Amino acid sequence: MLIRQSPSVSASEITTPSVYAARRDFIRNMAVGIGAAGLGIAPAREIRAETGNSLGHLTVSPFSTRDEAPTPFKLVGSYGNFYEFGPDKDSPEKNAHRLRTSPWSVTVDGEVKTAKTFAIEDILKWAPLEERIYRMRCVEGWSAVVPWVGFPFSELLKRVEPTGNARFVEFWSLADPEQMPYVRFPFLDWPYVEAVRLDEARHPLSILAVGMYGEVMPKQNGAPLRLVVPWKYGFKGAKSIVRIRFVEKQPATVWTKSSPEEYGFYSNVNPDVPHKRWSQSSERRLGEFFKRKTLPFNGYAEQVADLYAGMDLRINF
């Protein structure tokens, strides 16, 4: 099969894989007094977060998943990865209250004609907010159906002018040790930086999310602004974004630097490519006992497979 060539990451940018081969055990050993995640089961009919921070009436996007009910918010809000706040699945919910989301601004720079900084209040006015109900899949084998609230990434492109050299987009998360205690530990190369190709970012399914379950984004889920690319594994969804940078060459990201043999740049959901330590052929939906078969591109193959025409997705994983 033909492979579309992308600029490679230089060896000097890659952290020695052996240092991070057992990253979760390493992270867990640094966590003092943090217990295992506890999952509360909410009624299946629960769709709204009901925290009192409603975003008002929202139109459900035609891009939404239509055949699956949303996972109860109680599960999604209490189980996840946000390593700046700790290594366990319940660490974000326990510790993210430290995060200050106001004032908040996002700088857009790199391969743009004019670098700009936007206040989050202005970002919220860019376009009518809509609800996007998306399947989400974690590389660790769990999944959920989440009603995100946000707007297409293309709305940002209307307000900045990427140069002809822009081919990739980086998303930088906040890394403040005062608010995020685990940033003090060097188990990752902070700040958390993820990236996608520009054509992936501008795809209609890619959104910048400011809320979920009809309400303002909870701090533990990436407030006030996060990326959502539903056909990729969840770690691609940079949380608490403070910088968006357009670049020419494929950049190193937090996980390709930490463990490149386990986490590829593209990170598309591909059940035929196993993780080095577990299979990706099945998944367990939060709140369910039995596993289900994992779908290529997380079930969005019809919409996005053409982005990778001619690529060997076993090599470009």
pLDDT classification of 207: cutoffs 50, 70, 90: very high
Per-residue pLDDT of 262-279, as tens digits, reads 999 999 999 999 999 999
As given in the structure block, the two tokens for residue 6 are 């992308």
* pLDDT value at 4 more than 80: no
Peptide bond into 191 cis (omega under 30): yes
Kindly state the tokens that stand for 215: 């309400």
Domains of the chain in sequence order: 11-308 (3.90.420.10)
b/e for 47-66, b at 16 or more Cβ within 10 A? bebeeeeebeebeebebbbe
Rounded Cα distance, 51 and 218, in Å? 9
The partner residues of 268 in beta bridges, in order of sequence, read 232
Cα torsion angle, 244, 245, 250, 253, sign = negative
Alpha helices in 65-219 (DSSP H): 73-76, 91-95, 120-123, 154-157, 198-201
Please give the model's pTM, rounded to 2 decimal places. 0.85
pLDDT digits 0-9 by tens, 100-118: 999 999 999 999 999 999 9
CA dist., res. 273 & res. 233, Å (int):
13
pLDDT of residue 26: 40
Q: What is the pLDDT of residue 66?
A: 87
How confident is residue 51, by pLDDT bands cut at 50, 70 and 90? low
Could you tell me the pLDDT band of residue 14, with boundaries at 50, 70 and 90? Answer: very low
Position 24 scores a pLDDT of: 43
How high is the pLDDT of residue 25?
Answer: 43
